[in-house]
């Protein structure tokens, strides 16, 4: 069955459309919160990550005699915030067998293609639910870490506002990057190797492994024109005061440019995937 053979349903009213968005986005919440063991595991894992990262960087600066310096405060805050931002990426749907690659392998991707809801829109609804669930964990961790003094306050109110805006743009960038990785499965039926490469590249170039100001100048200059650092390094560097508001303007411009490029690319990939996918059996 070709995707363009699906039957078009009636146009939903605004209220019905909103309820549909909430229902579909809430699948992630119901799936995760319905499994107490996963919630407990997530809590313990996040707490251990925050503890280890905080101890590592504090110990590093204590050994060098600069435990109370501005650099130490910035780095510890950056590293802890990086863990929290990583948590906001959403959930791993491989566990619940709800990833695109699993649907393609089982043939159940058919249901995405024959629904009245276009698959690109359904994907966005689910991604919003995943992101909202991850943001809830990240926000809770931020409040706890700020209250306990693990994370310093933002450099200024303007820095906090710019960092928040840059973080929002980074979330959009990450959404499109992850979407491209999922869409690769329509042509390869498997994205394991691409996923491994992507995870390493993202961790390195986004600044998740270590703040990018520790890297050589040529590395930072090349990375400034790529989309990866906007996901994490740009908003966090502004938050801790490592990057000024003036210096952040061109970086945010790069974020916006990449969002447009990635949006156009994913639209093209969805169009190609829908027009060329045929399901026989399952």
Domain for residue 158, yes or no?
yes
Give residue 198's domain range. Answer: 14-276
In this predicted structure, what is the pLDDT of residue 12? 61
Domain for residue 260, yes or no?
yes
Domain for residue 7, yes or no?
no
- pTM: predicted TM-score of the whole model, two decimal places: 0.84
- Please name the residues in contact with 255: beta carbons below 8 A apart, sequence gap of 6 or more: 166, 169, 170, 173, 227, 230, 234
Residue closest to 239 by CA, chosen among 173, 172, 151: 151
Domain for residue 188, yes or no?
yes
Domain for residue 231, yes or no?
yes
Domain for residue 281, yes or no?
no
In this predicted structure, what is the pLDDT of residue 21? 75
Count CB-CB contacts under 10 A for residue 27: 16
pLDDT digits (tens, 9 = 90+) for 148-203: 999 999 989 999 999 999 999 999 999 999 999 888 888 876 677 777 888 888 98
d(CA 40, CA 32): 11
pLDDT averaged over every residue in the chain: 84
pLDDT digits (tens, 9 = 90+) for 25-75: 888 788 877 777 878 888 898 899 899 998 888 888 887 776 667 888 899
d(CA 11, CA 6): 15
d(CA 230, CA 174): 9
Residue closest to 131 by CA, chosen among 178, 163, 175, 94: 175
Domain for residue 282, yes or no?
no
Helices and strands, counts by H and E, the chain: 13, 0
Domain for residue 76, yes or no?
yes
Whole-number Cα distances in Å, 162 to 84, 89, 158, 187, 243: 18, 20, 6, 39, 11
Number of separate domains in the chain: 1
């Amino acid at each position: 069955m070709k995707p363009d053979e699906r039957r078009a349903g009636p146009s939903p009213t605004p209220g019905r459309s909103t309820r549909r968005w909430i229902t579909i986005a809430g699948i992630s919440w119901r799936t995760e919160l319905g499994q107490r063991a996963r919630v407990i595991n997530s809590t313990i894992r996040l707490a251990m990550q925050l503890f280890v990262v905080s101890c590592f960087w504090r110990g590093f600066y204590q050994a060098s005699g600069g435990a109370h310096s501005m650099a130490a405060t910035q780095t510890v805050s950056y590293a802890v915030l990086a863990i929290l931002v990583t948590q906001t990426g959403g959930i791993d749907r491989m566990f619940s067998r709800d990833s695109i690659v699993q649907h393609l392998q089982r043939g159940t991707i058919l249901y995405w293609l024959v629904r009245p809801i276009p698959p690109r829109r359904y994907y966005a609804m689910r991604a919003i639910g995943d992101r909202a669930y991850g943001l809830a964990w990240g926000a809770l961790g931020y409040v706890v870490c700020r209250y306990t003094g693990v994370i310093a306050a933002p450099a200024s109110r303007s820095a906090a506002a710019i960092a928040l805006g840059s973080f929002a743009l980074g979330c959009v960038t990450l959404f499109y990057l992850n979407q491209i990785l999922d869409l690769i499965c329509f042509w390869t039926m498997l994205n394991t190797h691409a996923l491994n490469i992507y995870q390493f590249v993202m961790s390195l170039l986004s600044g998740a492994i270590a703040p990018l100001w520790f890297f050589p100048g040529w590395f930072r200059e090349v990375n400034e024109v790529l989309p990866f650092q906007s996901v994490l390094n740009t908003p966090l560097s502004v938050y801790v005061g490592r990057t000024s508001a003036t210096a952040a303007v061109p970086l945010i411009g790069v974020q916006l440019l990449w969002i447009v490029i990635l949006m156009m690319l994913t639209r093209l990939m969805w169009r190609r995937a829908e027009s060329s996918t045929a399901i026989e059996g399952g």
